[in-house]
Protein backbone atom coordinates (compact mmCIF):
# COMPACT_ATOMS: atom_id res chain seq x y z
CA UNK A 1 0.00 0.00 0.00
CA UNK A 2 1.18 3.52 -0.76
CA UNK A 3 0.93 6.41 1.73
CA UNK A 4 -1.31 8.27 -0.73
CA UNK A 5 -3.86 5.42 -0.43
CA UNK A 6 -4.49 6.17 3.26
CA UNK A 7 -3.77 9.92 3.39
CA UNK A 8 -6.62 12.38 3.98
CA UNK A 9 -4.31 15.40 3.93
CA UNK A 10 -0.68 16.42 4.36
CA UNK A 11 0.14 19.02 7.01
CA UNK A 12 3.32 20.68 8.21
CA UNK A 13 3.35 20.51 12.02
CA UNK A 14 6.37 21.79 13.96
CA UNK A 15 8.25 21.93 10.67
CA UNK A 16 7.66 18.25 9.87
CA UNK A 17 5.59 16.79 7.06
CA UNK A 18 2.79 14.71 8.60
CA UNK A 19 0.34 12.51 6.74
CA UNK A 20 -3.13 12.63 8.30
CA UNK A 21 -4.30 9.10 7.66
CA UNK A 22 -7.12 6.62 7.91
CA UNK A 23 -5.48 3.23 8.49
CA UNK A 24 -7.56 0.08 8.19
CA UNK A 25 -5.58 -3.13 7.83
CA UNK A 26 -2.22 -2.65 6.18
CA UNK A 27 0.92 -2.88 8.27
CA UNK A 28 3.19 -1.92 5.38
CA UNK A 29 3.13 1.49 3.69
CA UNK A 30 5.55 2.38 0.90
CA UNK A 31 7.40 -0.83 1.68
CA UNK A 32 8.00 0.25 5.29
CA UNK A 33 6.43 -1.76 8.11
CA UNK A 34 4.47 0.01 10.86
CA UNK A 35 6.00 -1.75 13.83
CA UNK A 36 5.10 -5.25 15.01
CA UNK A 37 1.69 -6.67 15.91
CA UNK A 38 1.56 -4.82 19.26
CA UNK A 39 2.43 -1.50 17.62
CA UNK A 40 -0.21 -1.99 14.94
CA UNK A 41 -2.85 -2.90 17.56
CA UNK A 42 -2.02 0.35 19.40
CA UNK A 43 -2.30 2.20 16.10
CA UNK A 44 -5.81 0.78 15.59
CA UNK A 45 -6.79 1.92 19.11
CA UNK A 46 -5.46 5.40 18.29
CA UNK A 47 -7.53 5.33 15.08
CA UNK A 48 -10.67 4.42 17.05
CA UNK A 49 -10.01 7.26 19.51
CA UNK A 50 -9.69 9.92 16.81
CA UNK A 51 -12.73 8.53 14.99
CA UNK A 52 -14.86 8.87 18.14
CA UNK A 53 -13.65 12.31 19.28
CA UNK A 54 -14.11 15.48 17.25
CA UNK A 55 -11.06 17.59 16.49
CA UNK A 56 -8.52 14.76 16.48
CA UNK A 57 -6.58 13.10 13.70
CA UNK A 58 -4.11 10.25 13.40
CA UNK A 59 -0.87 11.16 11.66
CA UNK A 60 2.13 9.27 10.36
CA UNK A 61 5.58 10.56 9.56
CA UNK A 62 8.75 8.91 8.35
CA UNK A 63 11.68 8.79 10.71
CA UNK A 64 15.19 7.70 9.79
CA UNK A 65 16.85 5.16 12.04
CA UNK A 66 20.59 4.99 11.54
CA UNK A 67 21.90 5.69 8.07
CA UNK A 68 19.66 3.52 5.90
CA UNK A 69 16.52 2.40 7.76
CA UNK A 70 13.20 4.26 7.77
CA UNK A 71 10.16 3.64 9.99
CA UNK A 72 6.69 5.12 10.15
CA UNK A 73 5.91 6.83 13.46
CA UNK A 74 2.34 7.57 14.54
CA UNK A 75 1.07 10.45 16.61
CA UNK A 76 -2.27 11.92 17.56
CA UNK A 77 -3.01 15.51 16.61
CA UNK A 78 -5.61 17.80 18.15
CA UNK A 79 -6.97 20.85 16.31
CA UNK A 80 -6.72 23.93 18.53
CA UNK A 81 -6.69 27.60 17.49
CA UNK A 82 -6.91 26.52 13.82
CA UNK A 83 -3.63 24.60 14.08
CA UNK A 84 -2.69 20.96 14.62
CA UNK A 85 -1.01 20.18 17.94
CA UNK A 86 0.74 16.92 18.81
CA UNK A 87 -0.74 15.41 21.95
CA UNK A 88 -0.45 12.42 24.19
CA UNK A 89 -3.70 10.85 25.41
CA UNK A 90 -3.59 10.34 29.17
CA UNK A 91 -5.86 8.87 31.82
CA UNK A 92 -6.22 11.46 34.55
CA UNK A 93 -7.93 11.74 37.95
CA UNK A 94 -8.91 15.07 39.51
CA UNK A 95 -7.36 15.26 42.96
CA UNK A 96 -10.21 17.50 44.16
CA UNK A 97 -13.43 15.76 43.07
CA UNK A 98 -12.25 12.34 41.88
CA UNK A 99 -13.38 12.75 38.26
CA UNK A 100 -11.43 10.46 35.97
CA UNK A 101 -11.24 10.41 32.23
CA UNK A 102 -9.11 11.08 29.19
CA UNK A 103 -7.10 14.23 28.61
CA UNK A 104 -4.57 15.44 26.08
CA UNK A 105 -1.15 16.69 27.08
CA UNK A 106 0.95 18.50 24.45
CA UNK A 107 3.95 19.04 26.75
CA UNK A 108 5.42 15.52 26.74
CA UNK A 109 8.98 16.08 25.44
CA UNK A 110 9.12 12.79 23.49
CA UNK A 111 6.36 14.06 21.18
CA UNK A 112 8.99 16.34 19.65
CA UNK A 113 12.02 14.01 19.48
CA UNK A 114 12.21 14.23 15.69
CA UNK A 115 11.45 17.95 15.40
CA UNK A 116 14.40 20.11 14.30
CA UNK A 117 13.49 23.02 16.61
CA UNK A 118 12.37 20.89 19.54
CA UNK A 119 12.60 23.64 22.16
CA UNK A 120 10.43 26.02 20.14
CA UNK A 121 7.84 23.26 19.62
CA UNK A 122 7.78 22.56 23.37
CA UNK A 123 7.50 26.27 24.19
CA UNK A 124 4.56 26.52 21.80
CA UNK A 125 2.92 23.49 23.46
CA UNK A 126 3.28 25.07 26.90
CA UNK A 127 1.56 28.20 25.57
CA UNK A 128 -1.60 26.36 24.49
CA UNK A 129 -4.69 27.25 26.55
CA UNK A 130 -5.15 24.86 29.44
CA UNK A 131 -8.48 23.30 30.48
CA UNK A 132 -9.58 22.36 33.97
CA UNK A 133 -11.55 19.48 35.45
CA UNK A 134 -14.92 19.25 33.65
CA UNK A 135 -16.74 18.60 36.98
CA UNK A 136 -15.25 20.91 39.64
CA UNK A 137 -13.35 23.19 37.22
CA UNK A 138 -10.18 23.11 39.30
CA UNK A 139 -6.71 22.79 37.80
CA UNK A 140 -5.69 19.22 36.96
CA UNK A 141 -2.38 17.77 38.14
CA UNK A 142 -1.14 17.28 34.56
CA UNK A 143 -1.31 19.82 31.77
CA UNK A 144 -4.40 19.30 29.59
CA UNK A 145 -5.67 21.16 26.53
CA UNK A 146 -8.72 18.88 26.15
CA UNK A 147 -10.64 16.65 28.54
CA UNK A 148 -13.26 14.03 27.85
CA UNK A 149 -16.57 15.45 29.04
CA UNK A 150 -18.62 12.29 28.54
CA UNK A 151 -18.26 8.67 29.53
CA UNK A 152 -18.11 7.26 25.99
CA UNK A 153 -15.71 4.41 25.35
CA UNK A 154 -12.32 5.67 24.30
CA UNK A 155 -8.61 4.90 23.95
> What percentage of the chain reaches a pLDDT higher than 90?
61
Cβ atoms within 10 Å of 59's Cβ, excluding its own: 25
pLDDT in tens, 26-83: 567 777 667 666 677 788 888 889 999 999 999 988 887 777 777 788 899 999 999 9
As a whole number, mean pLDDT of residues 105-124 equals 95
Q: What is the pTM of this model?
A: 0.85
The pLDDT of residue 96 = 96
- Asked which of 2-11, 38-47, 85-94 is least confident by mean pLDDT, the reply is 38-47
Amino acid sequence: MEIEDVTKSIEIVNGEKLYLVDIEKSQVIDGVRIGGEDTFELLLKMKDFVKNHEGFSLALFRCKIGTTRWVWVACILYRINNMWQRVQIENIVCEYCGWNGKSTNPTVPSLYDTVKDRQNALNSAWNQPEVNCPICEKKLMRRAIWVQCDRSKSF
